[in-house]
Chains A and B, each alone.
Chain A
Amino acid sequence: MIFRAVEDADLIQKARRGNVDAYNLLVSRWERRVYNYLLRILGNREDALDLTQEVFLKAYQNLRKLEDAARFAPWIFRIAHNEAYSLFRKRRPESDEEVPERSDRGVTVGGTPVFPIELTLAVASALDRLSPEQREAVVLKIYQGFKFEEMGEILSCPVSTVKSRLYTALELLKADLAPAVKTRGVE
């Protein structure tokens, strides 16, 4: 883990000096995670791919503003978060509430199903019932594995807010999903 962090920092240093190959290598390490984060909160593959490209372009243009190379992960996800919400605002400029409306509901997330399709549908449905902020907190924690502190950095809010959103989401998901999992015997 530490070795990987050092390598990323090295690539960032090279990219800052204009080494595009180093930056491409860095992108190849993070593009899947950024794409899936955007896909899970946008619910649309095309938008997720477009924004992923936009995120890495912006990151390259602002790479010199990243003071601590070890904080690259929260930094790049912060850019992705901003891009996603910028897209929501663009799509719904008249709305006061920044509610990301997932364009495809249900089965867009996930590749070849290795679990029962009913369970995949139940998960997608349960995630859809969450508020956008709660869903994003779940995505960052469960799927991306960020710590509370990093999530606060990405979402630009206090850790207490992050915890509150996540705990509420977990309670809702637990009520929806735990019985379904138990009856299907998935461990």
Chain B
Amino acid sequence: MNCSPFDLRDYVLAELGESGRRSVEEHALSCAACREELERLRLTQTALLCVPDEEIPQRVAFVSDKVFDPSPWRRYWASFWASSARLAFAASAMLLVAAFVWSRPAPVVVPSPAPWVDLAKLEREFDARIQAPIAKAVADSEARQEKKNEETLRAVEKRYEMDRKSLMLAMDENLSLMQMRMGTMVLATSGGAGERP
């Protein structure tokens, strides 16, 4: 530590203004400790600067290639996005336009009165246009269904009659056959009895 009005390291590192530098120099004239510290710092700096900069072994250079050069429009566009001032201006302008558009009063829409409606007439028209065709369609459908039922019934009765007739016919034939066999048996029996004494 030292008693200098300013940091001696800042003095050596050239971070002090003109008045600060003068204050340090004046103080160092009368303070041996600070003078010694200043000397040590200067010697350190001198030692560091003993190692100078080197020359670059190879120069850095770029060549222009028109194929890869951006167009003036692209350069403008890129510079637009790179500039925060321009972006801020554009954003402000858009905000202003948006505020203007939204602040405009919306047009008032006056609702037109609803027309008077005759409900009874409407019901009559509804009946005439809708109900009547529906009733007619239902009646037609019912008639068709009834007719179909009658036809089915007739067919069933006819079939029943045919079955019955065929059954009667079969019974008659069986009866005739049985009578014929019985007659044959009677004749055979009477013929055998006459031959025996």
Interface, chain A (partner B; CB < 8 A): 16-18, 20-21, 23-24, 27-28, 31-33, 35-36, 39, 45, 49, 52-53, 56-57, 60, 64-65, 67, 109-111, 114-115, 119-120, 122-124, 127, 138, 141-143, 145, 147-148, 166-167, 170, 173-174, 177-178, 180-182, 186-187
Contact = CB atoms under 8 A, between A and B. Distances in A.
Contacts of A178: 40, 43-44, 47
B47 A111 contact: no
Contacts, number: 119
Q: Which of B9, B48, B59, B64 has most chain A Cβ within 10 Å?
A: B48
A123 B9 contact: no
Interface of B: 9, 13-15, 40-41, 43-64, 69-70, 75, 78-79, 82-85
Given A18-B64, A181-B47, 7 more contacts: A16-B79, A27-B62, A28-B59, A31-B59, A64-B82, A119-B47, A127-B48
A124 B47 CA distance: 10
A186 B52 CA distance: 15
Contacts of A27: 60-62
A174 B51 contact: no
A148 B57 CA distance: 30
A20 B82 contact: no
B47 A122 contact: yes
A115 B47 CA distance: 9
B44 A60 contact: no
A182 B56 contact: no
B15 A170 contact: no
